Chains A and B, each alone.
Chain A
């Protein structure tokens, strides 16, 4: 509680290069400073939660890392090396996979086509190998969601949970090292939410670094190692979950400051 630098406070971080370092990131849309000088890092096997009101800049910050937006200033480092991420394709090259709030699925295509969208398996002649893609999809789905059966139907015919499995499968299949999950459980029922939570723990155990965005403070306390709170585009603070209570986090979200860090 007395330490001021969170990175040092985290034992996992001692002497270890962070997987991702976002340094002094800023982006503005029109006159609005959506993200204003935010710095966050992420270590292998760690889950860092991003909290804040709607419009606090969480999603925007994360979209800079996933290549959907280009930052105005700042620096991204992956494994200590400066990274150039200008498009979703660039992000994928750094093994950054994103599961978006809106799922980013093409509703008219089936699960396999969505899973491999942009990275199709092709035959020797250069044609899309649908049979191979379907076989691979069956394999990964057997692991993620054994009840998944609607392989030949457009994903518009799937339930929220099944759609989420497709989105998650897409990230997991391509060996993500850095996973960004934007509200992964927002559209899910209780059972499916628990499934996603189990999956996050499993991926974390495999050494992935995960950025998790959610509104559910309790869920975040359970799943995350550290939480970063944003307000009006600025970082309020980053805390280890052991060091704070849910109330502390709520006041950070609402008041924009951590009551425990206030000088007495």
Chain B
């Protein structure tokens, strides 16, 4: 592909071949869009359309899209961390159990431990934040510990986290004596989805800022390339990309804003404040806070993957562990870092998951390890290491959740749902293998 680029290196006298002329490039290659991304978006759109037809248009309603979005967040957040794990040729089977432990720590913190030890009354403003901090700390430390076992003691990650799957699920049980802990703090619950949203105006403001940031990012990347004299896309291609980004962001906001708060809920809110609801009042939910958390995680993880040394070392180690070590990279400590990052992300997911349920229950996060690994793999992360993207993992989580909830809406039997999801996982990997063979990668 890059042979077609204008040759930036002055050719030597010996080189008597004519300068390669750029052949006419296809529309897509001029846009420089990843084909794999296109395939995943295509698969997602297909799933949506099929279920929309099967449900007589109920699948693609603002309400269902809103629900789909908040159901995806927890798995999607963890999947971004799983990408780093799988890229470095490891695996983490303990995320679901670790989510339960983090959730238990946070639930106990805000309902028992902090009120009992510090004397903070239930509903105190500091409770949810201290609880979240404790959960994050627990998740990160446990993740780092498992990473240490893998990296320094060289126990295979499969074994360490298989043990972790049993251990952390039952540590959670001991922390709570097997009880369901709730209701959780109201501020804490705001991270769950429907109980905490930006509202119409806030969502539009966020959408505009996000669109502006996307445009700026695309333009500054172009400027940086041009400054070094590298070939850049034609300006129309850049314009098309910017157009797609802006429409996608604002379209998403418009969709979420189209889901309006039911009238009886509004009446209840007004009544709670001792007010009479004016006739014809409407309000939109807008973007849930949990989705904002996911977006923040996605941006940070993408920046780590693409722009930091840590990210470069993660991918180099996945591509060739020996080369990474010979280049002076401390691959053992890198393993600790990668597991610690996933641990922190699991704790963030625990906030979202328990807030959505408004309580901590024993079975929270059960089977999440499989959903998270599946999301990462459907999103194009190669189990052989070295290859994977953050956006792919999020799209993978979205595709899985769409399948699952679409089938539930159509009324497919629960066992059959799992059979379909399992089949899709295997098929997705097969398609990926065939695609890579065609493209000539590994």
The one of B224, B308, B318, B323 that contacts A104, using a Cβ cutoff of 8 Å? B323
Q: For chain B residues 207-241, which have a beta carbon within 8 Å of chain A?
A: 224-225, 227-230
| Docked-complex contact A132 and B308, CB < 8 angstroms | no
CB distance from B224 to the nearest CB of A (A): 5
B323 touches A156 (CB 8 A): no
Measured between beta carbons, the chain B residues less than 8 angstroms from A103 are 323
Bound: A170/B224 CA distance, A: 24
A84-103 vs B, Cβ < 8 Å mask (1 yes, 0 no): 00011100100000101011
Q: How far is the CB of A258 from chain B (nearest CB, A)?
A: 34
Residue of B nearest to A125 (CB): B307
Q: Does A186 sit within 8 A of B, measured CB to CB?
A: no
The answer, yes or no, to whether B273 is at the interface (CB within 8 Å) is no
Given A148-B9, A153-B1, A157-B440, A104-B328 contact (CB < 8 Å):
no
Q: B309 touches which one: A92, A128, A132 (CB < 8 A)? A: A128
Q: Does B403 contact A (CB under 8 A)?
A: no
Task: Give the A interface residue count (CB, 8 A).
Answer: 45
Contacts of B312 in A (CB 8 A): 109, 113, 117, 120, 128
Whether the Cβ atoms of A108 and B315 lie closer than 8 Å is yes
B8 touches A120 (CB 8 A): no
Task: Type the 1/0 row for A34-56, where 1 means its CB is closer than 8 Å to any CB of B.
Answer: 00000000000000000000000
List the B side residues contacting A126 at CB < 8 Å.
308
A117 to B329, CA, bound (A): 8
Chain A minimum-CB-distance residue to B8: A138
**How distant is B69 from chain A, measured CB to nearest CB, in Å?**
30
Chain B residues whose C-beta falls within 8 Å of the C-beta of A120 in the assembled complex: 309, 312
Check A108–B386 contact: CB distance below 8 A.
yes
Question: Complex Cα distance A132/B328, Å?
Answer: 21
Q: Which residues of A contact B440 (CB under 8 A)?
A: 157
Which residues B278-325 have CB closer than 8 A to chain A?
303, 307-309, 311-313, 315-320, 322-325
B386 touches A88 (CB 8 A): no
Quick check: A106 and B316 within 8 Å, CB to CB?
A: yes
Is B2 in contact with chain A by the CB < 8 A criterion? yes
A245 interface residue (CB < 8 Å to B) = no
Give complex CA distance A100, B325 in Å. 13
User: Which residues of the other chain, B, contact A3 by a CB distance below 8 angstroms?
Assistant: none
Q: Is B3 an interface residue (CB 8 A)?
A: yes
- Cβ A122 vs Cβ B327 within 8 A: no
Interface pair B308/A127, CB less than 8 Å apart:
yes
B326 pairs with A88, CB closer than 8 A: yes
Q: Which of A138-161 contact B (CB under 8 A)?
A: 138, 141-142, 146-154, 156-157
Does A105 sit at the interface, judged by CB under 8 A?
yes
Query: Which residues in A have their C-beta under 8 angstroms from that of B225?
Result: 131
**Closest Cβ–Cβ distance, residue B322 to chain A (whole Å):** 7
Instruction: Report chain A residues within 8 Å CB of B3.
Output: 149-150
A128 touches B307 (CB 8 A): yes
B264 within 8 A of A: no
Option from B9, B228, B322, B442 in Cβ contact (under 8 Å) with A102:
B322
Q: Does residue B12 face the partner (Cβ distance < 8 Å to A)?
A: yes
How many whole Å from B254's CB to the nearest CB in chain A? 33
Shortest beta-carbon distance, A225 to chain B, in Å? 27
Contacting B320 at CB < 8 Å: which of A104, A141, A151? A104
Pull 21 A–B residue pairs with CB atoms less than 8 Å apart, ordered by A. A68-B326, A88-B326, A103-B323, A104-B322, A104-B327, A105-B320, A107-B319, A107-B320, A108-B319, A109-B315, A114-B323, A117-B323, A118-B329, A122-B309, A128-B308, A128-B309, A131-B225, A131-B228, A134-B228, A149-B5, A157-B440
Task: Give me the interface of B with A, judged by CB distance under 8 Å.
Answer: 1-3, 5, 7-12, 15, 224-225, 227-230, 303, 307-309, 311-313, 315-320, 322-329, 386-387, 440-442
Closest 7 CB pairs of A and B: A106-B319, A108-B319, A118-B327, A108-B386, A89-B328, A104-B323, A106-B316
